[in-house]
Structure formats: C-alpha cells, structure tokens
Structure 1
Amino acid sequence: METFIDVLVMLAATAASGAAVRFVPIPLPLIQILLGALLAWPIGMHVRLEPELFLVLFIPPLLFFDGWRIPKREFNRDIKPILTLAFGLVIFTVVGAGYLIHWLIPALPLPVAFALAAALSPTDAVAVAGITGRIRMPPRLMHILEGEALLNDASGLVAMRVAVAAALTGHFSFVQASGSFFIVAVGGLAVGVATAWLLERVIRILTRSTHDTASAQILMTLLIPFAAYLVAEHATFSGILAASAAGIFMSYQELRTATPGSVRTQGAALLGMLQFTLNGVIFVLLGLQIPTIMVQAPEISRAVGLESSWELFGITAIITLALIGIRFVWVWMSMLVTLYRRRGVATSRPPLKVVVASAFAGVRGAVTLAAILTLPFVMSDGSSFPGRNLAIFIAASVILASLLLASLSLPLLLKDLELPADAPAVEEEKAARVGIAEAAVGRLEKLGERGDRNAEALASVMALYRERLDDEADVAEADQERERLAAEREIRLVALQAELRQLYRLRRENRIGDEVFRKLQRELDQTESSIRTRAASAH
C-alpha cells in the first residue's frame, strides 16, 4: 500500500508541475525536481529505487516514443552532425571526462570513472525543450539535438556497459571492447526492428476483425518497446538500441499502414500523456534523492579521501564545466570540418554563438539518472562496488548543474540566433493542402462519373473542396433532409480517405516534412472523428 501511495503522490506532483509551469517562470524539469525535493524534505517522503526495474520501466518507452516522433526528413538531412555528436562526442566524453574524473578522485578506479563518464554522456532533448519553452529554439538546432539525444542514449549506455564489465572483471582490452560495442549495438538494432516488425503484424491480425480496435491496438503497441528491450537484453545485445530502433521502425511503418483515424487520435493523446508522465516522474524522483544525497555528502567525501563536502562540490562543478568545455571543443571542430569545401577551403568560421548554445544545450537528464542507478551494488567477489554512491552523487549534481546553467544561458544565447533556414514549412503546408484537396475532388469526380444516386450531396461536398481550392468564403452548412445529410457524411468520409492517401504519398516522397504531415494528419483525423460523432448522434 505504501508503494501505491508513493506512486500516486509522484503522479500528482508531475501533474501539478504541468499546471505550475504556466504561472512560474521556471523550466518544467526544475519545477519537477523542486517538487520532489519538497516531498523528501520537509515532508519526509522516501522512495527506494530498484535500478534494473527503474531502467526497464522508464527508458524503453521514452526512447521508443522519441524514435517514433523523430522528424525523419530532418534527421536524414542532418545525419552527419547528429552522428558526430551521438557517437564521436560520446567517445570523446568518455575518454576525456573519464581520465579527468580519475585524476580529480584517484580513489575512484579508472573503469568506474569511465562508467560514470559514459553515464554522463547522453543528453536530454526533452529537458532542453522544457527549458526553452518560452523562447524560440531554432528548428534546425532542435532537430539536431533531438537526433543526438535519441542515438547518444544508446551509445552512452553501451559504453557504460563495457566500462562496468571492465570494472567487474578487472580486465579491459580496447580491441575486445570495440568488438563488443559493435556486436551489442548491431544486435540491438536488429532485434529492435525484428521485434517491432513481428509485433506490428501480430497486432494487425488480432485487430483486423474487431469492431473497436483503438484501445486494443494502442495497448499492444505500448508493449513493443518493452518486448524489444527484454528480448535484446536476454540475447546480451543492447536493449536501449532495440527500443530506439523499434520506435524508428514504427515511425516509418506508420507511412505504409492504413491505421484508422480513431486509433491515431487516441494513440497520439495517450503517447503524449505517457511521455510527459514518465519524464516528469523521473525528475520528481531525482528531487526525492537530493536531501539524501546532501546528507551523505560528508560520508561520501571521506570514503574517497576528500577533506570536506565542499571539496566534493568543487569537483562536481569542475566536471560539469569540463563536460560543457568538451562539448564546445567537439562542436567547434566538427562544424569547422563540415564548413570546408572539397577543395579544402573554409567558407566561413563556425558562428561562435551557435557553438556556445550547442554546448550549453547538452543538458543531462532522465537517461543519465537511470543509467547511474543501474551500477551494481557488489563486485564479482561479493565486495561492494567501488564508488557507487560517489558516482550517483556526481551524476545527480551534474544533472542539476547542467539544468541550471542551461536555464540561465540558453534564453540569452538563443535570442536572435539564426541558423541556416529549414525547408519553407509554410509553403509546404499550402502546397500540401492544395494537393490533398485536389485528390479529394478527383475521388468525388469519379463517384459522379459512375452516376452516384446521391447527386445533391455529392455536389455539396465537391463545392466545399472547390471553395477551399479557390480560397473563397466558408461553405454554409447544409440544412437539407436527414437522408441527404447521411449521404453527405458518407461522401465526406470517402473524400477524407482520398486526402489521407495523398498526404501519406506526399510524406513518403519527402515533399513535406513530419511537422506539416502530423499537423494535417491531425486535422483530418479530427474532421473524421467529428463526422462519425455526428453520424452516431443522428441514429
């Protein structure tokens, strides 16, 4: 019963944070951490975290949602900078920060320092979005950060897995670690795609003959990330990469499968709520740990040979600034390289403001906390895992510090920041609206050619679409008899299906991006839902 009450309290705190962010000029993640800290002290709430359970419950669905919603065209366009950040920067961070941590705290074994650095390497685009909620983040920068966060979660956690294995066995080989990294990564990707492919077909078969498929189909879809994660982990591959790959696969599969509008509408609402809830609960949990961490600071300091807690706080500050510095150097160098033409002549120097903003936007968040909590309690010989409490203390402190620094710096750095322009989304949307309306008119004209008996209703619906194409005044609602209204609703549904097919075709051909696609898809789904609701109320 106590666990159940704790869960309800954390959910209530997460919901309260969503309301509070509208009135308090503080980023959402910081509000959630603050609420968690208040629950721990002075209220006295305490939640004991089971590391493996924590990782399985939170990380697979979050990475699955991120993979599903990643803007695919923008991801493909910026794949080079995303890969350099998601893999190159992770390796640079693990090596650079790992040696720095070991140098600052010699009592911490080098493999454990590498494991801590690996846990600190993933970034959190959701936290950045919460910080920049009241200011305009350049779309291209946000897309790059989202792509980086999706991939570096996996690369960082796989690197941490290798480092922890080295700490447990006392043996490390670069060649063996590289080979292990490759096998674990490729195996995770393959398992994720295969699991999603199989379960998606099972879902389609099971819901084919069911009248109300929305609830069952959404529930079964939510099981995909957990299945992909568990299967991959059982096969000793990366469950994190499997969950990410499953989400990306489902995103592409969405363009090829005719899913009912009711499923898409309910699914989008539920996925959005779950993503907000899971992220919120993680930050509330982080806040709950803060009083305990502060109380344990003197003991942790003595255990690693430090003279006082202030020395530990100072080391944490150095590590935080070092992570920002490492990111700044890597982003600067990668941008400098990408700005060179084939002849080897640089077109321009990297814009300093963009590099600095990218460095501070490397906020640590949910994945870092989940990763560091999975450090084992004991070694292979039964002794305590060295520096576990210290690693958790540093990771939690870096998360807080990076959030605070980003909250202070990004609003200033992003002001009037300009990047190379994205594809003209407004023009894309206009062209897409014309295209799907023309597809609907073409479908209705074919109905007319076949001599449809509901000629009056057909003419009314065609007038609606023709007036949309001519950009004329809104069509007055028909007030004809009940039979004609029913026929008109059926014809509208036929036209909507034609619009949806054309919309999917435009997206598959990359003539529109995900942002325009999802906006128009949502409008069409809402229109279909409204029509079906009116039809149901008329009977």
Structure 2
Amino acid sequence: MIHDNLLLIISLLFVVSMLTMLSEKLRISYPIFLVIAGLVISFIPGAPHMQLEPDWVFLIFLPPLLYGAAWNTSWTDFWRARRSIILLAVGLVVFTASTVAFVSYMIIPGFTLALGFLLGGIISPPDAVAATSVLHGLKVPKRVVTILEGESLLNDASSLIVFRVALATVPTGHFIFWQAGKDFLVVSLMGILIGLVIAHIMYVVHRFFPTTPSIDTALTFIAPYLMYISAEHFHYSGVLAVVSGGLFLSFRSHEIFTYNSRMQTTYVWDTVTYLLNGIVFILIGLQLQEVTNGLGNYSIAESIGYGVVISIVSIIIRIIWVFPGTYLPRMLSRKVKEKEPAPSWRAVFIVAWSGMRGVVSLASALAIPLTLGQHAFPARDLILFITFVVILITLVAQGLSLPLIIRWLKVEDDEDNVKEQNTQINLQLATVSLDYMTSAYDGEIINFRPFTSLKERYERIVNTAEARLRDNDPDMPALEHVRTYRKMLLEIVNVKRIELQKLRREKDFPDELIRSKERELDLEEARLRDSP
C-alpha cells in the first residue's frame, strides 16, 4: 500500500513537470494548464481516484507556499502599497463574502444567510500563484504586481476567518456582524503576534548560533510549520502568523544569512514551491468527479447555473470595489494624492481583472464537516460544486484573457525607470569601490597589474553608468557596443561549457573540479543576464 501511494506521488510529480514544460511551450500559465489537464485526466477510464484532503492542504501545502511568497515580497514595497493591499485583502474579502451571501440566499432555494456567508468566505480570496504566474513575463507596472502579491498574502487569512465565523453560525442560522468583527480582530492580531514571536526566535538562532547553509535551509522549512501550527493550536490565524513571520525574516535576511546560505536556500525553495504549486493545481482538476458524484439532490444543470451566477457576481464585485477604492481616497485626501502617483485606469483594470480563485477556496470547501449534529451538513455538496465552478471560470476565463487584455489596453510598464534605478545603484557601488581602492591600496594599484586591472574595470562601470544616465550624451551609441560586448561574454561562457564537457568525457581531471568550474560559469552567466 505504501509503495502504491509513493509511486502515485512520484508519478504525479513527473506529470506536473512534463505538463509545466508543455505549458511553457504553449505559453499558457501553468496553473491554468494544470487545472485543465487534471480535469481531462479525471475523465480518462482507469484514471486513479484521488481525493484532496483539506487537512493536507492547510497543514502541508499552505505554510510553505505562504512563507515562500512572504519571503519573496519586498517589505518596503509592501508597506508603501499597504493602503491598497488592505483595502483588497480585508475590505474586498468582506464585501465579496457579504454580497455573495445575499445573492446566494436569494437565488438558491433553502439557502440560509449563514450558508451564504460560508460560501462567500470560501470563494472570496483570489489565488496568489495564479495571478503572479499569469503576469509573469508580461509588461505591467511593478506596483500592480506588488499590490496583487501583497493582497494574496493577506486575503487568505481574511477569508478563512470569515469562513470559520460563518461555519460556527450555521447551526443557529444567525450571523451576528459585531461578534464576527470582534472575532476577526482577535484572531488576526494574535496570529500576527505569534508569528512575530517565533520569527524573532528564528532570527536569534540564524544570527547567533553556528549554523551552516544546510542548517539554515532546514530551519527555513521548519519555521512556517512552527508558526502555523502554534497559531492554529490556540485557534488564531495560522496564515497571518506565517505571513508576518516570513515578512520579518525576509526583511532581516541580509543580517542572518551568509551568501552561500542565501544561494542554497533560494534554489531549494524555488524547487519546492514549484512542485507544491504544481501538485495542488493538478489536484484541483482531478477533484471534479468526486465533487460531481456528491451533488445528491441538486441537478448538475442547476448547480452549474448557480456557479455561473456566483462567478459573474464575484468578478463584477471586484471591479466595483477596485475602481472607487483606487480613486476615492485620492479625491478625499490631499496626503494620499501627494504621496502616491496617479494610477492609470488601465493598470487599475488589470488589478480588478486579476481575481482568479484557487487552492485555498477548494480546501476551505472540502473542510466543511460532513455532518451537523446527527444530520448531514446542509448543502455541503452544492457549496463544493459551486466553488469548483467559480475556480474553473475565474482561473480559465480570466487567466487566459488577462494577457490579451494587457496587450489590448497597451499597459505601459515601468521597466525604463527600473533600469535607470539599477544603473544609479551600479554607479554608486562602483564609485565607493573606486574611492576605497584608491585610499587603501594606492601603492598596489600602481605596482601590481591585477590591482590596476580591477581599478580600470570599475572605472569602465562608472563611465558606462554615467553615459546611460545622460539621455543626450553624444557617446550613447557606445551602449550598443556594451550590449555586443555582453553578448560576446555570454558566448564565451557557452564555449567554456562545451570545453568542460569535453574535459569531463576525457576524464583527465577530477569531476569535483569540473563541477566547481561549472558553478563558476553559472554565477558568471547569472551576473551577465541580470545586468541591464
């Protein structure tokens, strides 16, 4: 039995990798492609029957995925966009849950308002991975990406709190707003506090204990589970514990990690989060048969109709919320108007259209108990099916149309501004390096060629950066030579790789030395490709 389960997991990982490569070839965002692929696979005769356990998602998948997202989020950018992020992650979640609650209460026979809030809490949070993967490689302003990533970090917590409060009110059928608001604040604040306390403990361990890169990497995987389980044990928000702790440690990472710890941790986390995301999205598609089989008294046609209506309502609600939420504060507050750049309506629409639902919604729906007292939980199967329809419609329809809309609207990114800022940083770093060399190693620069060569290299960096920052510089055509020079260096790296492969086949040198040289080439190529 263990061997069969292990083979199934390994096969799933292999299928995810193959399908992701195919999605790259077809230029379709991999979450969308994997959901559709899982949907198709579920109808193949003899396909394995798979049931997604909500406890697995919340305990195994959610902590590392949230922690990885928090770690890759800039705290500075997050704080600058905090007003927009909170309006979406808290305000929009509550607005969506409330609207969906009343709409479902009106259109679905026998649906109580408490069940409506339960459904609203389930489908209110957009998925983090879906939005960022769809936007990956597309030219959109950095602030748009920051807002969507920041929203996705917090909205899971907001929606899960609404879900829990609504679940507790289903037996009585009464939803008390002031009590829900109080519970929301307590659960949120205590979750943040627990996350920060554990993050400070991990900070001390990383910084003052004799760790190695492998230990540092292992501790980064222990931390999110420790934060999540600790907060959930006391019935507070494990999601906010992970997010707050991850943001704190990410902000302090330059103090607690050496360069090799940062590199190793980054590579390992990239691989793990990719595999976890891939498995989750293909499992969503594989759930359709399980969801359909449990519909019970509701017909598939009726259930699809309810799902389509709720999907359209969810999409419209986001658009209605985002535009006033963007422009009204600028009209009402001079401070906001002066501090924040005027947003383009095109960029605002991209934020409004990026409301794809995903794994948290499905896991929440699956977490609804099977029974309520001595009876079956009311409308559980219908809520599950509606959730699946909303995920499918928003993920596929909005996800596939988003790149087309971005091109149609001709959304302008801020790539030129980012390049200019990058050049300014290069100029400042090269300038202070030159100043230090001339003051501390003046004699060596005069007498030893390696020192002289390094000084000349930094002088070239300074000259190139200054030329880039002068738009009307007469030597600007020289920038084309800089690009050609970088192209040549990349070609030389490739030539070196080919030669190393030849040396490996000849077996005249130790394989460890060959691998060391390959790592040097990897770092050199990364530096060349990341330069503007």
Same fold (TM over 0.5): yes
1:335-350 equivalences under 5 Å are 335-340=326-331, 342=333
Residue in structure 1 matching 2:18, options 16, 19, 23: 16
User: Which residue number in structure 2 is paired with residue 458 of structure 1?
Assistant: 451
Using the TM superposition, name which of 312-321 and 159-168 deviates more: 159-168
Corresponding residue for residue 138 of structure 1? 141
Matched residue type, 2:47: G
Question: How far did residue 263 of structure 1 move?
Answer: 1.4
Residue 261 of structure 1 and its aligned partner are, at CA, apart by 1.5
Shift, 1:459, TM fit? 3.3
Determine if the alignment matches structure 1 residue 226 to structure 2 residue 225. yes
Q: Is the 8 A contact 1:59 1:370 kept in 2?
A: no
Q: Secondary structure in 2 aligned to 1:108?
A: coil
1:458-488 Cα shifts (integer Å, max 9, x gaps): 33333332332233988999xxxxxxxxxxx
Structure 2 residue 4 is matched with structure 1 residue 2:
yes
Q: Give the residue type in structure 1 aligned to 2:405.
A: L
Cα deviation, 1:163-206, whole Å, max 9, x if unaligned, reads: 11222565543222211110100000111111111023223344
1:227-376 equivalences in 2 (<5 Å): 227-255=226-254, 257=255, 259-297=257-295, 299=296, 302=297, 306=298, 308-340=299-331, 342=333, 353-376=346-369
Check whether the contact 2:227–2:245 (CA below 8 A) recurs between aligned residues. yes
The whole-number CA distance in structure 2 between the counterparts of 1:157 and 1:262 is 37
Indicate the SS of the match to 1:236: coil
Q: Given the superposition, is the C-alpha separation of residues 261 and 342 from structure 1 closer, same or farther in structure 2, using an over 3 Å criterion? A: closer
- Residue number among 7, 10, 33 corresponding to 2:35 in the alignment: 33
How far apart, CA to CA, are the structure 1 residues paired with 2:147 and 2:250?
18
SS of match in other structure, 2:239: helix
Q: Which amino acid counterpart does residue 275 of structure 1 have in structure 2?
A: T
What residue number does 2:84 align with?
A: 81
Task: Decide whether aligned partners of structure 1 residues 332 and 197 sit closer, same or farther in structure 2, where only a CA change above 3 A counts.
Answer: same
The match for 1:526 is 523
Distance 1:420 1:25 in 2: 20
**Conserved in 2, the CA contact under 8 Å of 1:140 and 1:422?**
no
- The corresponding residue for 1:64 is 67
Q: Report what 1:496 is aligned to.
A: none
Deviations 1:97-148 (A, max 9, x none): 1111122223233222212211111112421233344643333222211111
1:7/1:382 Cα in 2 relative to 1: closer, same or farther (>3 Å)? farther
Partner of 1:512: none
Amino acid of the residue matched to residue 223 of structure 2? I
**Match of 2:221, as an amino acid?**
L
Note if contact 1:90-1:155 (Cα within 8 Å) is conserved in structure 2. yes
Q: Are 2:126 and 2:357, in contact at CA under 8 Å, matched by a contact in 1? A: yes
State the match for 1:204 in structure 2.
207
- 1:356-377 Cα offsets, whole Å, 9 max, x none, are 4333211111221222222223
Aligned to 2:381: 389
Q: Which amino acid is 1:140 matched to?
A: R
Deviation larger for 187-196 or 386-395: 386-395
CA distance 1:418–1:445, change in 2 (3 Å): same
Structure 1, 416-425 or 18-27: larger mean CA deviation = 416-425
In the alignment, is the contact (CA less than 8 A) between 2:23 and 2:30 conserved in 1? yes
Say which is worse superposed, 257-266 or 240-249, in terms of deviation: 257-266
Q: 1:49 to 1:341 in 2, by over 3 A?
A: closer
| TM-score normalised by the chain length of structure 1 | 0.79
Contact kept, 8 Å, 1:328 with 1:355, in 2: the verdict is no
Instruction: Map Cα deviations across residues 423-478 of structure 1 (whole Å, 9 max, x no partner).
Output: 9211110011112222333443454269799955433333332332233988999x
Residue 109 of structure 2 corresponds to which residue in structure 1?
106
Alpha-carbon separation, structure 1, partners of 2:413 and 2:36: 37
Question: Are the equivalent residues in 1 in contact too, given 2:366–2:384 (CA < 8 A)?
Answer: yes
- Residues 80-229 of structure 1 aligned to structure 2 (within 5 Å): 80-133=83-136, 135-168=138-171, 172-208=175-211, 213-229=212-228
Judge conservation of contact 2:303–2:382 (CA < 8 Å) in 1. no
In structure 2, what is the equivalent of residue 537 of structure 1? none
How many residues get paired? 472
| Contact 1:86-1:155 at 8 Å conserved across structures | yes
1:83 Cα shift? 1.3
Q: CA shift at 1:528, angstroms?
A: 12
Instruction: Provide closer, same or farther for how the CA distance between residues 437 and 350 of structure 1 changes in structure 2, counting only shifts above 3 A.
Output: closer
Aligned 8 A contact 1:13 1:36 in 2: no
Change (3 A) 1:453 1:20: same
- Distance in 1 between residues matched to 2:319 and 2:193, nearest whole Å: 33
Paired position in structure 2 for 1:485 = none
CA contact (8 A) 1:207 1:216 kept: no
Name structure 1 gaps, 5 residues minimum. 478-522, 531-539
Distance 1:190 1:218, change over 3 A: same
Give the letter aligned to residue 378 of structure 1.
T
User: How far is 1:84 from its partner?
Assistant: 1.0
1:382 & 1:283 partners in 2: Cα distance? 34
Deviation at 1:352, TM superposition (A): 5.7
Secondary structure at 1:282 match in 2 = helix
Shift in Å at residue 288 of structure 1? 0.9
Task: Determine if contact 2:66/2:239 at 8 Å carries over to the other structure.
Answer: yes
Using the TM superposition, give the Cα deviation of residue 244 of structure 1 relative to its aligned residue in structure 2, in angstroms: 0.8
> Taking structure 1 as reference, are residues 336 and 465 closer, same or farther at Cα in structure 2, changes over 3 Å only?
closer
Amino acid of the residue matched to residue 43 of structure 2? W
Q: Secondary structure at the match of 2:125?
A: coil
| Equivalent residue number for residue 507 of structure 1 | none
Q: Cα distance 1:331–1:80, how it changes in 2: closer, same or farther (>3 A)?
A: same
- Residue type matched to 2:24 in 1? R
What are the equivalent positions in structure 2 for 1:378-527 lying under 5 Å apart?
A: 378-379=371-372, 381-415=373-407, 416-418=409-411, 424-448=417-441, 455-471=448-464, 526=523
Q: How has the CA–CA distance of structure 1 residues 525 and 436 changed in structure 2, closer, same or farther, with 3 Å as cutoff?
A: farther
1:494-517: CA deviation from partner (whole Å, max 9, x where unpaired): xxxxxxxxxxxxxxxxxxxxxxxx
Compared CA separation, residues 392 and 243, structure 1 to 2 (3 A): same
Deviation at 1:295, TM superposition (A): 4.0
Q: TM-score, normalised by structure 2?
A: 0.80
Please report the RMSD computed on the Cα atoms of aligned residues, expressed in angstroms. 3.4
Q: C-alpha offsets along residues 261-319 of structure 1, whole Å, 9 cap, x if unaligned?
A: 2111121122222222111111111111113333444x2xx2xxx5x321211111000
Q: Distance in 2 between matches of 1:76 and 1:432?
A: 22
The aligned residue for residue 502 of structure 1 is: none
Distance of 2:184 and 2:349 partners within structure 1: 31
